[in-house]
A = this chain, B = another copy of it.
Amino acid sequence: MQAAVVSIPAAIGSGAERSAKLRRATTADAIFERLYSDILALRMPPGMVLQEKKIAEEFNVSRTPVREALLRLSEGGLVDIYPQSGTVVSRVPVAAIPEAVVVRKSLEGTTVERAAEVATPADIARLDTVISRQRSLAALNDTSAFHEEDEAFHEAIAGIAGYPGIWGILKTVKVQIDRARRLTLPVLGRMDNVVYEHGLIRDAIAAHDAAAARAAMLHHLSAVIPDVAELRVRYPDYFC
Contacts and interface: CB of A to CB of B under 8 A. Distances in A.
Interface string A69-95: 001101100001111011010010101
A58 to B, nearest CB: 6
Contacts of A187: none
- Binding site of A, secondary structure by majority: helix, strand, loop or mixed? mixed
A4 interface: yes
Contact of A100 (B18, B26, B165): B165
A4 B5 CA distance: 51
B240 A12 contact: yes
Interface stretch (A42-50, A132-140, A177-185, A192-200): A42-50
Interface string A26-62: 1000000000000000001111110000110010000
A173 B107 CA distance: 13
A95 B4 contact: no
B163 A99 contact: yes
Contact of A102 (B18, B93, B110): B110
A72 to B, nearest CB: 7
Interface of A: 1, 3-8, 10-13, 15-16, 18, 21-24, 26, 44-49, 54-55, 58, 68, 71-72, 74-75, 80-83, 85-86, 88, 91, 93, 95-96, 99-100, 102-103, 105-107, 109-110, 114, 162-166, 169, 173, 237, 240
